[in-house]
Amino acid sequence: MSTPPQPPTKKERRDAAREARVEAEQASAASAQRKRRLAIILGSIAAAAVIAIILIAVAGGGNDAASTAAKTGKAKGGADTAAEFAGIPQAGVGLGNPKAKVTVVEFIDAQCPICKAFSNDTFPTINQNYIRTGKIYYQFRTLHFLDNNNGGTDSIRGAQFLNAAGFQNKMANATSLLYRNQGTEGTGYMTDKFLRSIGNAIPGFNTEKAMVDRNTPKAKALVATADALGARYSVDGTPTLLVGPTGGTLAKINYTNVSSPAEFQAGIDAALKLNP
């Protein structure tokens, strides 16, 4: 004979209710914890994404002169550059009087920031005192060292364009403008847009012709000639300036400060004294 189930005692009911309450509280706490963790994960991922986007924007973005030039389609300084070289004969890579007794050869790299400093700070004095007066004949020779350092193509692209500008006897204008609007080294800023903006800022210049000419064997041969000349004179950096008798052997101008015209003038004056 079985006894009928006894109803739970008051204590048992109280214990069961407490157990149920504890379970519910634990389930609620676990749910809250899951929600909190999810919020933390999503917040962390969002923060990481923002950091990555900012870093990439800073790395690849361009608020420099080069990107401004590329955006506007016309580089800054066209009028100033035109005035700088007005009345001075230009032919190919040469600037000034080819019959001058003394020749100065400048080795440049289009993306070299030190070349920019020379172009902006020192070259105008040399141009005014020696080239414009017919005392020296000046040549630009384009090297492309920096592509090897940063794995880019800015130097070679700039070199070919500058030599192509020489076909229209505007290499000095293009060189000066390129440095005035130079971008950050190794960022790939020497785009077709940027090069067109340089060409568009030169009065009377046929930009599209230069864009075609830069890829011709003739333009590439000039780059190779510059390489060979640089190797002959053991040029291992830019800017390097050689000076000496026109048609003769040249010697490097030693300098410590690329922005000091006096150091370069001293080298040129010495050559002029030797070749009166």
Nearest approach, Cβ of 155 to other proteins (angstroms)? 14
Is residue 215 involved in binding other proteins (CB under 8 A)? Answer: no
Contacts of the segment 256-265: beta carbons below 8 A, 24+ positions apart: 258/114, 258/117, 258/118, 258/121, 258/122, 259/117, 259/118, 259/121, 259/122, 260/121, 260/122, 261/121, 261/122, 261/125, 261/126, 264/122, 264/126, 265/125, 265/126, 265/129, 265/130
Structure tokens at 156: 């070679």
Between residues 28 and 257, which has the closer beta carbon with respect to other proteins? 28
Nearest approach, Cβ of 54 to other proteins (angstroms)? 9
- The dihedral of CA 201, 203, 208, 214: what is its sign? negative
Q: Which one of residues 13, 16, 21, 221 is an interface residue with other proteins (CB under 8 A)?
A: 21
Is residue 192 involved in binding other proteins (CB under 8 A)? Answer: no
Between residues 49 and 228, which has the closer beta carbon with respect to other proteins? 49
Between residues 150 and 225, which has the closer beta carbon with respect to other proteins? 150
Number of C-beta neighbours around residue 179 at 10 A: 24
Is residue 224 involved in binding other proteins (CB under 8 A)? Answer: no
Structure tokens at 268: 């040129």
Is residue 204 involved in binding other proteins (CB under 8 A)? Answer: no
Q: Which one of residues 64, 185, 227, 269 is an interface residue with other proteins (CB under 8 A)?
A: 185
Site of tokens 């880019």 = 152
Site for other proteins in 22-41 (CB under 8 A): 22, 25-26, 29-30, 33, 37-38, 40-41
Site for other proteins in 43-62 (CB under 8 A): 44-45, 47-49, 51-52, 55-56, 59-60
Between residues 13 and 21, which has the closer beta carbon with respect to other proteins? 21
Distance CA 66, CA 214 (A): 19
Q: What residue type is assigned to position 95 of the chain?
A: L
Per CB under 8 A, the segment of 16-24, 68-76, 137-145, 233-241 that binds other proteins is 16-24
Is residue 266 involved in binding other proteins (CB under 8 A)? Answer: no
Is residue 232 involved in binding other proteins (CB under 8 A)? Answer: no
Site for other proteins in 138-177 (CB under 8 A): 149-152
Distance CA 22, CA 25 (A): 5
Q: String of b and e for 34-47 (b: at least 16 CB within 10 Å)?
A: eeeeeeeeeeeeee
Site of tokens 């080069």 = 66
The contact mask relative to other proteins for 93-132 (x = CB under 8 A, - = no) is ----------------------------------------
Nearest approach, Cβ of 25 to other proteins (angstroms)? 4
Sheet containing 136-143, strands listed edge to edge, beginning at the edge strand earlier in sequence = 90-91, 94-96, 136-143, 102-109, 240-245, 251-252
Pairing verdict, β 90-91 and 136-143: unpaired
Residues near other proteins (CB under 8 A) are 18, 21-22, 25-26, 29-30, 33, 37-38, 40-41, 44-45, 47-49, 51-52, 55-56, 59-60, 149-152, 185-188
